[in-house]
Structure 1
Amino acid sequence: MTVRKDVLITGASSGLGEAMARKHAACGANLALCARRTDRLIALQRELSAAHPRIKVEVHRLDVNNHDQVFQVFRSCREALDTLDRIIVNAGVSHGAPIGTGAFPANARIMQTNLVAALAQCEAALEIFRDQHSGHLVVISSMSAMRGLPHLTAYSASKAGLATLAEGIRADLLDTPVKVTTLFPGYIESEMTTSGDEPTPMMVSTEKGVTSMMKAIEAERPQAKVPAWPWIPMGFVMRHAPLRVVARS
């Protein structure tokens, strides 16, 4: 299997992105970490550089909704590390509200960030990979992409669109050295998933969830529901259950 030693991660200042950065650093990868909150990126850079002095850790401020900046930052990261072997499109937002309840700005922001901005990241990544004739694109979708969900309608639609985008890219690159992985995380503890007072059923720790994600990433699987239990069987249920059942879950 190809060794991926130079890795770019967006949304790396918190949550799953931060945890994936730590996992890659522990494996000896050089990192380009991108997010809006540079104070947190710098703190993470210091932590990882101290723990793993042989790796290089670059940090770049990036607002993924600034599409010109996406291309500029990705190119800068490639120059800083000489190459980029893996790019993880992770930056995203959640929440939203039922359609038609006056929450259009919030729902539009979700679609813009999770889908249009993800397209910009994929375009910038594939420009680099096509030029290198190699690379591994990883996109972080969600189990919410399996069906249209109440209260999370814009979010589930954005993540379904992202999964379809990644599949189309994969189809375009079949039998080439460029690989594409789509991850569908279930409930993994992070800043995005722990805002409520009530515990979420089937929630797993960040450590367990990201360990499962990393196994799928390192295997360069085309798609993976993570963690596999219970999300592989749950994915089947979500796909095939009557909408009324899905809506009550």
Structure 2
Amino acid sequence: MTATTRQKILITGASSGLGEGMARAFAARGRALALCARRVDRLDTLADELRPSAAHVATAALDVTDTDRVPGVISTLAGELGGLDRVIVNAGLGKGAPLGTGHAAANIETVQTNLVGALAQVEAALEIFRAQESGHLVLISSMSAMRGMPKAQTAYSASKAGLSAMGQGLQAELAGSPIKVSVLLPGYIETDINRGVKTSMMTPLYKGVAAMVDVIEKESSWAPVPRWPWLPVAAALRYLPSEITRRMV
């Protein structure tokens, strides 16, 4: 199965930001969509907007930290679409505070959502993909996974680094198989998570989503997005000594 035939796509965290943007992009290409999010009112409004162009749109309320519920929701949506060709693990949280400053709950919630919740989604998706012997798993990590971030970003970057490592492990395990795994590392894209960030490297949402969808359709194994400026930034964060990179983060 090639990228152009991945017709049945599930996206978590689809009610806003990158998830909503990707849903709109794939609907415009006539794909069948299964959309999950905590905010059902926004999800249902989006679904109504997408139905004229999408092949089919199914929705479900899902808090990915309710890990016992994740497999059932994903399985039910797969049934509604007649299977799943691609699952985009996108639901994420950007809360955080410097560790040890009395805000442990926010940091724990971030890790539970971005890593533990992601693991629950991966387990459910791969169970379906293994049974049907095909599928494309997409993990939406972050540029912050490239190097541990300070202060309020520490727990967030740790959660995304864990997600990237999960993807790398699966790529090694599934190499040569009909199950493909992609790890995307978005840089600064205009979403709620990045609201208030002051940087000249912020990408408009529509451009960021277009770059992500292009990489997903190509089924790239690993990609900072947008490619510029984030590919060279990723290389710098990976290879330069910490004495230099700590000034970058």
**What TM-score bracket applies, with the shorter chain setting the length?**
over 0.9
**Matched ranges for 1:98-177 at <5 A:** 98-151=98-151, 152-177=153-178
Q: Deviations over 1:59-87 (max 9, x none)?
A: 10001001121100000011100110000
Contact 1:11 1:91 in 2 (8 A): yes
Is 1:61 aligned to residue 61 of structure 2? yes
**Matched ranges for 1:216-231 at <5 A:** 216-231=215-230
Cα deviation for residue 33 of structure 1 reads 0.3
Contact 1:7 1:29 in 2 (8 A): yes
Cα deviation for residue 45 of structure 1 reads 0.6
CA distance in 2, matches of 1:37, 1:121: 18
Instruction: Tell me what 2:238 maps to.
Output: 239
Contact 1:149 1:246 in 2 (8 A): no
Where do 4+ consecutive residues of structure 1 move more than 2 Å? 198-201, 240-249
**Of 38, 56, 77, the match for 2:40:** 38
Cα deviation for residue 247 of structure 1 reads 2.9
Q: Secondary structure at the match of 2:69?
A: helix
Q: RMSD between aligned alpha carbons?
A: 1.1
Unaligned residue ranges in structure 1 (runs of 5+)? none
CA distance in 1, matches of 2:106, 2:40: 24
Contact 1:7 1:87 in 2 (8 A): yes
Q: Deviations over 1:183-240 (max 9, x none)?
A: 000001111111x2x6322001011111111111000010011000000111111123
TM-score (normalised: structure 2) = 0.95
CA distance in 2, matches of 1:153, 1:201: 22
Q: Secondary structure at the match of 1:13?
A: coil
- The count of residues paired between Structure 1 and Structure 2 equals 245
Contact 1:129 1:135 in 2 (8 A): yes
Q: Secondary structure at the match of 2:33?
A: strand
Q: Secondary structure at the match of 1:67?
A: coil
CA distance in 2, matches of 1:68, 1:243: 40
Instruction: Tell me what 2:73 maps to.
Output: 73
CA distance in 2, matches of 1:204, 1:191: 13
Unaligned residue ranges in structure 2 (runs of 5+)? none
Q: Deviations over 1:16-42 (max 9, x none)?
A: 000000011011110000001000010
Instruction: Tell me what 2:86 maps to.
Output: 86
CA distance in 1, matches of 2:77, 2:192: 26
Q: Secondary structure at the match of 1:68?
A: coil
**Of 50, 55, 60, the match for 1:48:** 50
Cα deviation for residue 139 of structure 1 reads 0.3
- Identity value in percent: 53
Contact 1:88 1:137 in 2 (8 A): yes
